[in-house]
Amino acid sequence: MSTTPYVISALVIVGAACTAGLAMPERQRTDPDALVCELHISNTGRGVTLRAEARSPRAVEGHYELAIDQRSGGGRATIRQVGPFALQAGERATLSQSDLAGRARDLDAQLTLHAGGQVKTCRAAAL
């Protein structure tokens, strides 16, 4: 019996899981003037790193709101951050980076950007 179909299925599932929290609304992907928010979760040797980023094709100033909920066998933790940001035209900036104990699947995070009359929200949800 060949294991190839199982390996391919596993790769497809892992690929979908890695990008599930990064999906953006269709309008945001096609609007060249859109402010873009992104949440990146990566596993580290001792836990996970959550990075919140913003980018814009034009210069903007605004503020961000980041909400992180983490569940584990020991309970639940909630982290809230708010802060200002300014982007030059075409710039990508890291607004926040957090190193957390635990697993990526135990996190739910939401980033909301307010700038230039736009409000953009992106999520990274536990799988």
Query: 3-state secondary structure string, 39-95?
Result: EEEEECCCEEEEEEEEECCCCEEEEEEEEEEEEECCEEEEEEEEEEEEECCCCEEEE
Q: What are phi and psi of 75, to 5 degrees?
A: 135, -150
pTM for the complete prediction? 0.71
CATH number at residue 119: 2.60.40.2420
Residue in this structure with the two tokens 């939401």, named with its chain if needed? 110
Average pLDDT over every residue of 9-25: 39
Instruction: Provide the domain count of the chain.
Output: 1
pLDDT band (50, 70, 90) for residue 43: confident
* Torsion sign over Cα 78, 18, 8, 47: negative
Q: Which of 69, 66, 79 is nearest to 113 (CA)?
A: 66
Query: pLDDT tens across 47-67, in order?
Result: 999 999 999 999 999 999 999
- Which tokens in the block code for residue 67? 């909400």
- Which tokens in the block code for residue 88? 């030059």
Residue in this structure with the two tokens 């060249």, named with its chain if needed? 32
The CA-atom distances, in angstroms, between 10 and each of 17, 38, 124 are 10, 25, 21
Query: pLDDT tens across 67-78, in order?
Result: 999 988 788 999
Average pLDDT over every residue of 65-92: 93
Structural domain span for residue 94: 4-124
Residue 86 is predicted with a pLDDT of: 96
Percent of residues, the chain, with pLDDT higher than 70: 72
